């Protein structure tokens, strides 16, 4: 017979999240920083309990999933694999508040992409759907991008998008920059990149970078400190235009 001495160890209960009824505070803090959301960080047997947690949702501004969703919608709109003609007609009809009974199949597909939601059983345009439509008509420019800082904990980077605003930073996904440049997180601060951006975006949260790449190296003379004096003129941007609407 084996006798147990001392109190039995019980893992301390974690604090509930104050912003949702389904998760602990620790889970939501982590879920906000990953595109997996809280759902993807939870054990299989209790995963359905946190499905759609608002703290990490693609529909909640500022989460990693939300930033990734904006990038996903923009990239799709600019690609050759964009929505079908009927899919785009259906999305525009939803945006205009029109009757969309004839687009039942397309509406189902759009809802799976989270471009369309439902309010009182009626299709309604989501922010992702609006992002897709905007990306088809807004002008995009090739612009320098300076990485100011990275936050490994939240998996974000703070960058200056020169063609948008010279002083107000834009927050982007750190993994987007790492994947595009093959640099490590600690190598990014202070580096200049190039990207295509919607430089007429009204706010920093509306700026979406695509086609991120390393900027060409500065001339050797500049690296040695022999930087020529230039007049303070606006940075020349290359207009990437917009896709066909």
* Same domain, yes or no: 163 and 194: yes
Q: State which of 99, 116, 135 marks the end of a domain.
A: 135
Residues 86 and 69 in one domain: yes
The CATH number assigned to the domain holding 187 equals 2.40.50.140
242 CA to centre of own chain: 20
Lowest pLDDT segment from 47-56, 124-133, 229-238: 229-238
Asked if the model's pLDDT at residue 212 lies above 60, the reply is yes
DSSP string, 203-243: SGGG--EEEEEEPPPPPHHHHTT-PPP----PPP-EEEE--
Q: Are residues 87 and 148 in the same domain?
A: no
Do 69 and 129 lie in one domain? The reply is yes
Which token pair is 188?
């990014």
Q: How many domains does one find in the chain?
A: 3
Same structural domain, 179 and 160: yes
Please give the residue range of the domain that contains residue 120: 64-135
**Residue-wise pLDDT tens digits, 128-157:** 999 999 999 999 999 999 999 999 999 999
Model pLDDT, residue 12: 58
pLDDT at 226 (0 to 100): 59
Give the pLDDT confidence of 179-207 residue by residue, as tens digits.
Answer: 999 999 999 999 999 999 999 999 999 99
Higher pLDDT, 44 or 180: 180
The H or E element spanning position 188 is none
3-state secondary structure of 172: strand
Q: Does residue 119 form part of some domain?
A: yes
Inside any domain, residue 14: no
pLDDT at 221: 58
In percent, the amount of the chain with pLDDT more than 90 equals 66
pLDDT at 245 over 50: no
| Residue 170 domain-assigned (yes or no) | yes
Q: Are residues 181 and 164 in the same domain?
A: yes
State whether 73 and 127 are in the same domain: yes
């Amino acid at each position: 017979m084996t006798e147990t001495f001392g109190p039995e160890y019980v893992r301390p209960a974690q604090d509930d999240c104050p912003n949702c009824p389904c998760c602990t505070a620790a889970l939501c803090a982590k879920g906000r920083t990953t595109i997996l959301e809280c759902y993807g960080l939870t054990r299989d047997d209790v995963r359905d309990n946190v499905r759609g947690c608002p703290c990490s949702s693609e529909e909640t501004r500022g989460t990693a999933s939300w930033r990734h969703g904006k990038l996903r919608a923009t990239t799709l709109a600019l690609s050759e694999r964009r929505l079908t003609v009927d899919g785009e007609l259906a999305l525009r009809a939803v945006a205009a508040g029109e009757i969309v009974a004839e687009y039942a199949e397309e509406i189902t597909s759009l809802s799976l992409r989270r471009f369309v939601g439902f309010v009182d059983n009626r299709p309604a345009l989501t922010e992702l759907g609006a992002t897709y439509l905007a990306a088809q008509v807004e002008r995009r420019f090739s612009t320098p991008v300076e990485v100011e800082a990275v936050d490994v904990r939240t998996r974000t980077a703070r960058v200056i998008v020169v063609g948008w605003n010279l002083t107000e930073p834009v927050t982007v996904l750190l993994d987007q920059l790492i994947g595009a440049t093959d640099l490590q997180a600690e190598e990014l601060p202070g580096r200049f990149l190039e990207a295509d951006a919607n430089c007429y975006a009204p706010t920093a949260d509306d700026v979406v970078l695509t086609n991120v790449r390393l900027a060409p190296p500065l001339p050797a003379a500049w690296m040695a400190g022999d930087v020529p004096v230039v007049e303070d003129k606006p940075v020349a941007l290359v207009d990437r235009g917009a896709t066909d609407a």
